Amino acid sequence: MTDTISRRTGGRAARRASRAAPLSDAMRPIRPGMSGGAYQPLTPQDVERIHRTALTALEEIGLADAPESGIAHLTRAGAILGTDGRLRFPRALVEDTIAKANREITLFGRDPRHDMELSGTRVHYGTAGAAVHMVDVDGRNYRECTVQDLHDAARIADVLDNIHFVQRPMVCRDIPDNYEMDMNTVYACCAGTTKHVGTSFTEPGFVKGALEMLHMIAGGEDKWRERPFVSNSNCFVVPPMKFATEACQVMEACIEGGMPVLLLSAGMAGATAPSTIAGAIAQATAECLAGLVYVNAVSPGHPAIFGTWPFGLDLRTGAMTGGSGEQALLSAGCAQMHRFYGLPGGAVGGITDAKLPDMQAGWEAMCSNVMAGLSGLNMVYEAAGMHASLLGFCHESLILGDDLIGHALRCVRGIEVDDETLGLDQMREVCLGGPGHYLGTGQTLARMQTDYQYPALGNRMSPKQWDESGKPDLMAETIERKEEILAERSAARFDAATDAAIRETFTIHLPA
Amino acid sequence: MTDTISRRTGGRAARRASRAAPLSDAMRPIRPGMSGGAYQPLTPQDVERIHRTALTALEEIGLADAPESGIAHLTRAGAILGTDGRLRFPRALVEDTIAKANREITLFGRDPRHDMELSGTRVHYGTAGAAVHMVDVDGRNYRECTVQDLHDAARIADVLDNIHFVQRPMVCRDIPDNYEMDMNTVYACCAGTTKHVGTSFTEPGFVKGALEMLHMIAGGEDKWRERPFVSNSNCFVVPPMKFATEACQVMEACIEGGMPVLLLSAGMAGATAPSTIAGAIAQATAECLAGLVYVNAVSPGHPAIFGTWPFGLDLRTGAMTGGSGEQALLSAGCAQMHRFYGLPGGAVGGITDAKLPDMQAGWEAMCSNVMAGLSGLNMVYEAAGMHASLLGFCHESLILGDDLIGHALRCVRGIEVDDETLGLDQMREVCLGGPGHYLGTGQTLARMQTDYQYPALGNRMSPKQWDESGKPDLMAETIERKEEILAERSAARFDAATDAAIRETFTIHLPA
């Protein structure tokens, strides 16, 4: 419908005013948890075959190396311990577990506005990983990463709308003691963001300390258990088809402490998983199903994310590659398996093999991120900042990742088709005696903000404007933005009393 | 199955030898014309509604400004000329045309190995556009583009496996005379590549000259008509819903001369098309259907590509933006309409708003390219090299586009699921008393080349290797590659006699 008022009087001024107005939350064109699923790389028959392969693998091959406690839990649930030490899973046990597992998980933020509801094909993007290097963009250099780098990453992610959670993306290489490293990882992340945090523990015994800190941050164990805002990223298997003994013990301790777990199976296609995409997905599915049985044997209904994370290899060199098309397919295929089971799931996206945030970094990160989103992956891990096939983390890439993921999320939102959006009435009015263009129509003005996603740093100037503006450089602008963010005091910091109490109990490496 | 021979004797050497072997064509993991379609942004109901909206728009609104000749052709076919000068299209006329239109078009290359079969969801990527600037990467500068730049673009595209056709991406700003510009455009493209070429003509009268040149290149009119290797990109409409009078006359001349046409509707969502994605697709569909009726009224079955090319706007500024998520959705939605009609179709992908080949350029170009491929778009135009929302063309981006599109094509190929790829036997052998890894299995070795796509310039080194190699820079390596390509003599050049004959008849600006 033509906006006749604006056509008659000051349409241009009204449009300008409307453009300048800030976006309210309800008006935002994209949000965390939009539903994907329009992209389905597997046919229903393919999905069934992968499922059946996984069931057969669990029944006939099973998994080795469960800890004693796990063997007790799993045999009690119905798994069969073979003379070869492998636990095998009858189909009925697996199918029953799938049927009764927790299918609607909320991952809480310390601030409730960052809560993530994992169900259906709702998509969330965030960081993750265990990079050992920090990418210094200015110096074109890789250096060891520190707890300060990790804290800064959390602080940056905290202010980026399209980074929905902060799983620790790098390890604190400046803290040689593993216990101190684990405690400082939790501290550095939680003191930097009120979004949901993911972490990982080196030893089962460390979980107790972390829980103690989390109870202090939450204001008591009951408050923590009500809204656990940290989850444990748990590499519970060593593919192919072996439990990671110690990680399973960590997992049991986390379950005990009320912490959601990510059941992470990180096979390498061609090395620790079959080289074929279908085979790597099938094995990861089998392994995660075993993990799901394990979790539900320990504590029925405990929140567990189905973490099929198969990675790609460059088979010419045997080196890992996370930026390939094969990687994008691996994760998208996994998303379809999660959906088939109706279980909250996660996989990787956004990784690049590029060493710096260059054009290669852009295309590789987008490919897997947008395909993950379109496939309806609930949790897209490693979605921003990861370079050199996970070896390096980059703050500038994290910031640009916000634009990149915003763009991907606009695609996830998709195309709304209804009488209004089809616009036949508009077309009639514009073409038949109307102005011959849609610039002033109510539809155009109204949808300028609700339908269209605008980049924060991505540059849309004409060559002329760009030239007249001194040819702004994407990386220089991003570094400036990073410095702005880090110059602000973090809104996620703990109150003074809590912080003091934590520092009394733990050796905290970040300055107070 | 484990490759026992390679395990026993020299498996490592065998693997190294196998890696070094060049790829035969049959072994290549990706090819032109792979089938997409796993991504469907529209539901079947959405598609039906868009179709019905287009039919209603054609029946009730119709199109203005057809030339006299077009009015004669179209009214003879059954269109109705209103007292308002608009031609309206009864539903039956449109539906009959869809039913009898040419649904399997081959776009020929001068070299038959570059022939493209457009049918189903077969995907091809290539250049297109009308950029007025050349992006000088080294100098961070935009300058006017020349016929030499165009010729160089064709030469570069000729050697890039994943650039399947060369529609002229820029206009020769150094040739002020329009006739000379059009003739030199054809010459510069055809002398640079034996892939299918797309061009565009300024005036109907120019088509005759171009055909004369093409007959000379082909070796006679009969040879040209047998395998027309140049198509006409025809902006036959001025959206919304008006024929482009002169372009329609150009189209009639091309049809007469046996040249395939691209029915190009390039509305701008929010300006010359509805601001909504659904509305912009509906209008473009209506316009292209009108074009299809036109072509088939002039010459039943003439090869015509359904060229719904709606573009996005940045509604804040009113400037065009080709790098947005909305743009990726516009093109992917159009692909689904083509598929619904079973008609060969094309739309845009790969455009970036970035001024230089930076990270933004990478993510924007990948997003629309991979979504176009996954949606099964037959012809992805403007897929490589286009910057600043189509205003600038960049040779380095074109070269990197080959890697980027290769990556996208690997995703289009998708996931093969069968007994072999599911790998249950492999899993059994590897896990139950086997080596515990898949590195030496026959599957892994055999699939290293046929399944995995490797980038030419994209860097997969570890940080250590990268450091030891002097930190190679993506752009510096790409510039080097460009210089290598342009230092070679083009294999597409005409034989001396043909070239001399062309130069006698036409004023050719490129040096002989």
In chain A, domain spans: 98-413
- CB-CB neighbors (< 8 A) of A467 in chain B: 142
d(CA A286, CA A332): 17
Give residue B443's pLDDT band: very low, low, confident or very high (50, 70, 90): confident
pLDDT one-digit tens code per residue, B320-336: 999 999 999 999 999 99
d(CA B348, CA B364): 12
Q: Read off the pLDDT of each residue in B472-494 and give the average, rounded to a whole number.
A: 96
pLDDT one-digit tens code per residue, A452-463: 999 999 999 999
**Residue to test with chain A: of B1, B417, B443, most A Cβ within 10 A:** B417
Amino acid present at B26:
A
Residue B358 in this model has a pLDDT that exceeds 80: yes
Q: Do B50 and A461 touch (CB under 8 A)?
A: no
Gyration radius (Cα) of chain B, Å? 24
Strands, DSSP E only, in B23-74? 34-35
d(CA B157, CA B102): 28
With an 8 Å Cβ cutoff, is B55 touching chain A? no
Q: Read off the pLDDT of each residue in A390-413 and give the average, rounded to a whole number.
A: 98
d(CA A152, CA A150): 5
DSSP state at residue B23: P
SS3 B143: strand
**Stretch 372-401 of chain B: residues touching chain A, C-beta under 8 Å:** 374, 388-389, 391-392, 397, 400
Residue B18 in this model has a pLDDT that exceeds 50: no
With an 8 Å Cβ cutoff, is A9 touching chain B? no
Q: What is the pLDDT of residue B3?
A: 34
Q: What percent of chain A clears pLDDT 90, i.e. is strictly above it?
A: 90
Instruction: Give the chain B residue whose CA is nearest to the CA of A426.
Output: B274
- CB-CB neighbors (< 8 A) of B28 in chain A: none
ipTM: 0.95
Q: What is the pLDDT of residue B25?
A: 66
- CB-CB neighbors (< 8 A) of A142 in chain B: 463, 466-467
With an 8 Å Cβ cutoff, is B270 touching chain A? yes
pLDDT one-digit tens code per residue, A443-492: 777 787 888 999 999 999 999 999 999 999 999 999 999 999 999 988 89
In sequence order, the β-bridge partners of residue A133 are A144, A392
What's domain A98-413's superfamily in CATH?
Trimethylamine methyltransferase-like (3.20.20.480)
Q: What is the pLDDT of residue A25?
A: 65
Q: How far is CA A86 from CA A90, A98, B185, in A?
A: 13, 21, 69
- CB-CB neighbors (< 8 A) of A353 in chain B: 458-460
SS3 A350: coil
Which residues 6+ apart lie within 8 Å of B76 measured at CB? B297
Q: How many CB atoms lie within 10 A of CB B117?
A: 15
Q: Quickly list H helices, B342-473.
A: 359-374, 395-413, 419-422, 424-431, 442-450, 463-468
Q: How many CB atoms lie within 10 A of CB B435?
A: 13
> What is the Cα B155 distance to its own chain's centre?
16
Residue A20 in this model has a pLDDT that exceeds 90: no
Residue A105 in this model has a pLDDT that exceeds 70: yes
Q: Do B438 and A361 touch (CB under 8 A)?
A: no
Q: How many CB atoms lie within 10 A of CB A5?
A: 12
Q: How far is CA B386 from CA B372, B389, B435, in A?
A: 16, 7, 50
Give residue B481's pLDDT band: very low, low, confident or very high (50, 70, 90): very high
Q: Read off the pLDDT of each residue in B369-374 and give the average, rounded to a whole number.
A: 98
Q: Among residues B278, B234, B274, B227, which one has the least CA distance to residue B254?
A: B234
pLDDT one-digit tens code per residue, A196-242: 999 999 999 999 999 999 999 999 999 999 999 999 999 999 999 99
For tokens 């490693």, the residue is A382
Half-sphere exposure (CA, 13 Å, Cβ side) for A465?
Answer: 11
d(CA B346, CA A209): 60
Instruction: Give the chain B residue whose CA is nearest to the CA of A324.
Output: B407
pLDDT one-digit tens code per residue, B279-300: 999 999 999 999 999 999 999 9
d(CA A140, CA A148): 20
Q: Read off the pLDDT of each residue in B36-64 and give the average, rounded to a whole number.
A: 98
H, E, C per residue of B439-491: CCEHHHHHHHHHCCCCCCCCCCCCHHHHHHCCCCCHHHHHHHHHHHHHHCCCC
Q: Read off the pLDDT of each residue in B463-480 and give the average, rounded to a whole number.
A: 97
Q: Tokens for A290, please give them.
A: 């075993």
Q: What is the DSSP string of B115-141?
A: -EEE-TTEEEEEE---B-EEEETTTTE
Q: Among residues A256, A63, A191, which one has the least CA distance to residue A493?
A: A191
**Stretch 295-324 of chain B: residues touching chain A, C-beta under 8 Å:** 312, 314-319, 321, 323-324
Give residue A23's pLDDT band: very low, low, confident or very high (50, 70, 90): low
Q: Among residues B378, B202, B204, which one has the least CA distance to residue B305?
A: B378
Task: Report which secondary-structure segment, H or E, holds B263.
Answer: strand B261-265
Q: Do B461 and A355 touch (CB under 8 A)?
A: yes
Which is it for strands B261-265 and B304-308: parallel, antiparallel or unpaired?
parallel
| Min distance A485 CA to chain B CA atoms (Å) | 21
Q: Are A237 and A279 in contact (CB under 8 A)?
A: no
Q: Considering CB atoms only, which of A140, A325, A408 is closest to B453?
A: A325
DSSP state at residue B22: P
Instruction: Give the chain B residue whose CA is nearest to the CA of A312.
Output: B452
Which is it for strands A392-393 and A379-381: parallel, antiparallel or unpaired?
unpaired
Residue B9 in this model has a pLDDT that exceeds 80: no
Instruction: Give the chain A residue whose CA is nearest to the CA of B390.
Output: A462
d(CA A197, CA B303): 57
Q: How far is CA A479 from CA A192, A270, A354, in A?
A: 19, 38, 18
Strands, DSSP E only, in A270-383? 304-308, 312-314, 319-321, 346-348, 379-381
| Min distance A19 CA to chain B CA atoms (Å) | 5
DSSP state at residue B230: E
CA angle B375, B376, B381 (to 5 degrees): 95
> What is the Cα A49 distance to its own chain's centre?
27
Q: Do A414 and B329 touch (CB under 8 A)?
A: yes
> What is the Cα B291 distance to its own chain's centre?
20
Q: What is the pLDDT of residue B8?
A: 36
Q: Report pTM.
A: 0.95
DSSP state at residue A456: S
**Stretch 69-88 of chain A: residues touching chain B, C-beta under 8 Å:** 84
User: b or e along B369-388 (b: 16 or more beta carbons within 10 Å of the residue's beta carbon)?
Assistant: bbbbbbbbbbbbbbbbbbbb
Residue A94 in this model has a pLDDT that exceeds 60: yes
Give residue A275's pLDDT band: very low, low, confident or very high (50, 70, 90): very high
